[in-house]
Structures are given as C-alpha cells and as structure tokens.
Amino acid sequence: MIRAESLSKTFGTVQAVRDVGLTAPDGRITALLGPNGAGKSTTLRILATVLRPDRGAAWVDGHSVADDPDSVRRAIGVLPHGAGLYARLTARENVAYFGALHGLKGAALRQRVDALIDQLDMGGFADRRVGGFSQGQRIRVALARALVHDPRNVILDEPTNGLDVMATRALRDIILELRAQGRCVVFSSHVMQEVATLCDDVVIVGQGVVGFAGTLDELRRRTGESDLEEAFIRVVGTEAP
Amino acid sequence: MRGFGVVLAKECRDNLRDRRTILASFSLALLGPALFTALMSFVLTSTLGESRAGFRLAVVGAEHAPRLVDHLRRYNVEVAPVSLDDPRQAVRDGVEDLVLVIDADYPRQLETGGVASVTLIHDSAQMGSARRDFARARQMIGQYGQKIGVLRLQLRGVDPAILTPIRIGEVDTASPAARAVTILGMLPYLLVLVVFMGGFYLAIDATAGEREHGSLEPLLSQPVSRSALVLGKIGAASVFSMVSTVLFLVSLSVSVPFVPLHRVGMSLSIDPLTCLAMFGVSLPLVALGAALLTAVASFAKSYKEAQTYLTVVILVPTLPLIVTQMLDQAPSTALMLVPSLSQATLVTSLIKGEAVSWLHVAVSAGATGLLAALVAWVAIALYRRERILI
C-alpha cells in the first residue's frame, strides 16, 4: 500500500512536481500516466526514497518515506528507469548482490535467486555476463533484482520502454502475476493502450499536478469520451509542457 | 556496518573481471622495480667503466705527430689513423664520433718553438659517451702540450712554476656508491605512486562509473547505510592498493639482487622481513589513498571526468617528496606528521638498513590514519546528499 499527499519537488528553477497525491492499494495495479516531463519519474523516485520531497509526504505500508527510509526500502522493490545493471557481473550475480545487501546469505540467498530465475524464465541467460544482454533480458534481471527481498510493493518506472512486442507481453504477464500475489504495483507510462490493458487504477499527471485519479471506467464517465486516448488528452491538455 | 563486506566483495570481483583495470592498476607495481633495477645497473656500470675504458679517436695526419699519438695510446686511446677528405662531414654524418686533425705544419712549428695546431672535430649535440670522449681527448692533448711547454722553459733555464701561479686542487667525493644512493632516493617515490595507482581505477569504477551506468540509484535505494556503502568501496580500493604494494615489494626483492651493488662496496638488503616492515609502514597511506581517490572521484559524473580529476590527485602525494628532496631534511618527528613524506622517509631508512624509531612509526601511522578517516567521512557525507543522484 502506497500513499502520497501533495508532493512537490523543485530542481534549481524547474518545478518537476507541483502537487501530486495518490493511493495505490495492495492487490491492484496503479498506473502513473502522463506525457514526457510530467513529473512521473520524480514522483516515483520520491516514493523510492531516492529523492526527498520539498513539501508533502508519502507512506509505504505506513512507513514515512522521509522519516523512515530504511523501512520503506525493505518494503518496496524498484525497477528504475534504464535498469542500471553491472555489465561485468552475470545475471545471477547482479540479483544476488542486492539480495546480500538486504541481508540474505548462504543457502537462503541461493534459493531465493534460483526461484526468481525460474519465475522470470531467466534460465537461459542466468550465468552469462549482463554486458551483451538485450533490453528484454536486462529488464528481467532488473526486475528479479527488485523482487529479491520479496517486497509487498513494487515500483516500475517505464518498464516497457524499448521492449518489443513479445518482451512487452511477457512483462505484462509478470506484472499480472505480481498482482495475483497480492502485491501493490505502481508503474509509470506514457502509452495509454498499455495502461488500458493492464491497470486497475490510473493517475494522470500533467505538468506536475494530478489531472485525474480513479478507475478507467470513471475516466470514461468523467470525460464523456469512450476512447481512452481522447480522454487522456482531454485531461492533460494538448499544449506541450 | 551491515553491507560493508558485501559491497567490498562485489567491487573487487567486478573489477577483477576488467582486464584494462587489472593491467592499469598493477603494471607499475610489477614493471617499476625492473625499470628501476635497469636504470641503477646502467648508472653503476657506466660510472665504474668511465675511468678505465678506452675510446676510439680517428686521427687525420697521424704521421705528422708520432709522439702525440704515442702519448694518447699510453692513455688507452684507440688511435685510428685515417685519411678523410672532409673530416667535418664525417662527424656530421656520424661516420666518426670524434676526429683529430693534425696540421701538416705541426712538426715544423714544434721544432721551431712555435704554436702547433691540431683540431678536434666533434658534435656537441651528441649525448653520452661521445661528449665524454671529447672532453677526455682535449684534456690529454692539453696535458701533452703542457709537458712540451715545461720542457721548453727548462731548456731556456726558466722555472716552469712561474706559469702556474695558482694551482687548483679538485676533490670529487661522489663515488659510484654515492650515485647509487641518489637513485635509491627514487624508490620511495615509486612506492607512493604504486600505492595510489593500485586503487585508482577501482575507485573511479565504483563511484563515477556506477553513476554513469545508472546503477547508483538502485544501489542507494537499498536498506544499507551510506557509511557501509562508501566504506565498502573505499575498502575495495584499499584491497587493490594493498595487492599493488605487495606485488611491488615482491618484484623489488626479486630484481634488486641483479644490481651490481657489490662492485661499489654497497649492499642493499630487501629481505622478507624488510618487505614486511615496508608493507606495514605503507598501510595507513593505502587507506588514505583509497579514501582520497574515492572521495574525489565521487564528484565526477562520468568515468572520463573522474580520470581527469584523479590524475591531478595522484600528483599530490609526490609533492612533499620533491620539496624535501630539495631541502634535504633528516628524519624528524615533525616530518612524520606529513602523509606520504613520512612513509617515504621510513621506507628509505628501512632500505638503508637504518634503525627506525617506533615513535616515528606511531606518529606517521596516527597522522596519516587520522587524515584517512577524515577524508572517508567527507566521502560518506557526499553520498548522504541527494545531489549525488541528480
């Protein structure tokens, strides 16, 4: 369960996030939808304890992001923008490194990593160095790394970026699986269709503020548009940020 | 401190897989002593050989001055009578290093008590033995001329002493052994550089490299304290630095016996115990180097940028060495407060087989260790800022 209230964050003179609040319950997939530069990544980075908000507050399973970051870090798994893997380590070693940082060791760590390799269908490349991996393989490794401590909450920053159709479909299945396990899943995207096929709730962000929050049906009802893309554009406005 | 060991082990393993890092981190440690040995052997043998070895001197018109030729041969000069049309060109072309041209007028001038002239043709742009041979040939011919002058004065009943109102006595105390000691002064330099080079590339990879590849953000969102993370990285740089130092000492103890020091009556003992002592004395510098490299590289956003910064940083520990070498300081407790300088001084004493005071060792370790802790604290503070990820 992730909750945020009126977050704001400024970098120098650029106000990336003005006023963003959201509630993402367990067992549901919540999409953070918005055009490029809307403040999606910044919001997710605040939730992941990477950035501190200038104003506002956020909680993960009741732990405050600002006051108790270590408890938050134990409760969430994050797939950051661009994966960020170690090219000279194998897929297995990349996952095991973060598992060890979470305090897993010995047989418990090995079993957990094996289970993830199995679950994410990484057997074919688990013991190869990450350096030459395709984007789809990299995302899987990064996802396994994010899940190594079995977090209740999962944050995915534009996970489908650069993936082909097959890899996107495989990732979609994984995300649905995470929901079925009762986890709280939050992901960001700028692709409406992707959101439509996957999410339960949607939070639309434009220029640092929330334009809409609710289910897809509510979005259609609110905007009076049956086409979701039209509804999206109605909410964020047509002008570029 | 949970996570410290995990980070340390990962950084070491990760960097051990990079051939370029391995090569760059340890090549100075392995090859430095070999180069050092070669240089030292060269200097020793060339200074030893200087006074004895003869040299070749091409002489044009040797038939005009058989006595001069005899004089030169007595001093072990290999006189080669030649006939050259253009001796200058021969030297210019490098056919001959040194040519002595004796005028056809030479015998007549000597007989009549006039000034006989000879010409030494050389190329002063040439380095090494050619320059030395020229000076020696000139000196020998001058000596011969002086001898004739003395005879002429005696023939005329004049005391030759009136021509030398002042005699300059010269005493050069520089023995080959003394020169060897001068070169030996380079060893501590090399050691300080080796200590810093060992951790150089790992420190960059673990900080700026991690930032450039985008892996720092996920790393910093793990439930591990920043101090454990940063100290793990400094620890890994220290491990590489230590390995570099050990390789250097091993390489040194293997190659030093090849230097012909016994020929100048010197002995240089780099036995295992001395090596161990040098390693122990260097440890605080290892920690300081790793912390300093890690802290400075953390300011950089890319591998390349960090490389630029650290190239400057690596010069810093050599500065106090250069300054003191110019001032010629004796080891003192105050000197031990300066990192890198104190280690260099202690290492020099150890090599020379001099007694090392425990007080000096303690002050050196304390001062350098304290500074290392301070720099490590700065590095941790850098990673506590959000700016590190922006």
Domain residue spans of chain B: 4-45+178-389, 53-170
Arithmetic mean of pLDDT, A37-53: 92
pLDDT tens string B10-65: 999 999 999 999 999 999 999 999 888 888 888 777 766 555 567 888 999 888 88
Contact B6 A100 (CB under 8 A): yes
Torsion of CA B144, B150, B156, B160, to 10 degrees: 160
Q: What is the pLDDT of residue B124?
A: 82
pLDDT of residue A225: 78
* Side chain identity, residue B69: V
Q: Do A45 and B217 touch (CB under 8 A)?
A: yes
The dihedral through the CA atoms of A223, A227, A228, A231 has a sign that is: negative
Predicted local confidence at residue B178, as pLDDT: 63
CB atoms within 10 A of CB A173: 11
Residue A197, pLDDT > 90, answer no
State whether residue A94 sits within 8 Å of chain B by CB. Answer: no
Q: Which of residues A232 and A17 earns the better pLDDT score?
A: A17
The rounded distance, in Å, linking the Cα atoms of B382 and B300 is 12
- Give the pLDDT confidence of A98-116 residue by residue, as tens digits: 999 999 999 999 999 999 9
Q: How far is A77 from chain B (nearest CA, A)?
A: 9
The verdict on a CB contact (< 8 Å) between B217 and A87 is no
- Per CATH, the number for A2-83+151-236 is 3.40.50.300
Give the pLDDT confidence score for residue A162 in this predicted structure: 81
Chain B residues lying within 8 Å of A133, measured CB to CB = none
B226 neighbourhood in chain A, CB within 8 Å? none
Q: Which residues of B touch A50 (CB under 8 A)?
A: 217, 220-221, 386, 389
Q: Where are the domains of chain A?
A: 2-83+151-236
pLDDT at A180: 95
The residue of chain B nearest to residue A70, with distances taken between CA atoms, is B223
Q: Which residues of chain B have pLDDT under 70?
A: 47-53, 127-128, 170-181, 264-265, 267, 269, 327-329
- Name every chain A residue with its beta carbon within 8 A of the beta carbon of B11: none
CB contact under 8 A, B221 and A73: yes
What's the CATH fold of domain B53-170? D-Maltodextrin-Binding Protein; domain 2 (3.40.190)
Instruction: Judge residue B244's burial from the number of C-beta atoms within 10 Å of its C-beta, 0-12 exposed, 13-18 middle, 19 or more buried.
Output: buried
**Does residue A179 have a pLDDT over 50?**
yes
CA distance A234 to chain B (A): 32
pLDDT confidence of residue B174: 58
pLDDT of A35 > 70? The answer is yes
3 state SS for B317-371: HHHHHHHHHHHCCCCCCCHHHCCCHHHHHHHHHHHHCCCCCHHHHHHHHHHHHHH
Burial of B357 (0-12, 13-18, 19+ CB in 10 A): middle
User: What letter does residue A163 receive in the DSSP assignment?
Assistant: -
SS3 category, A201 = strand
Residue A240's pLDDT band, with cuts at 50, 70 and 90, is very low
Q: Which range has highest mean pLDDT (A9-13, A31-35, A123-127)?
A: A123-127
Partner residue opposite B221 with nearest CB, options A48, A89, A129: A48
What's the pLDDT score for residue A241?
44
Q: What is the pLDDT of residue B6?
A: 96
* Nearest neighbour of A11 by CB, restricted to B3, B6, B390: B390
Asked if A70's CB is within 8 angstroms of B215's CB, the reply is: no
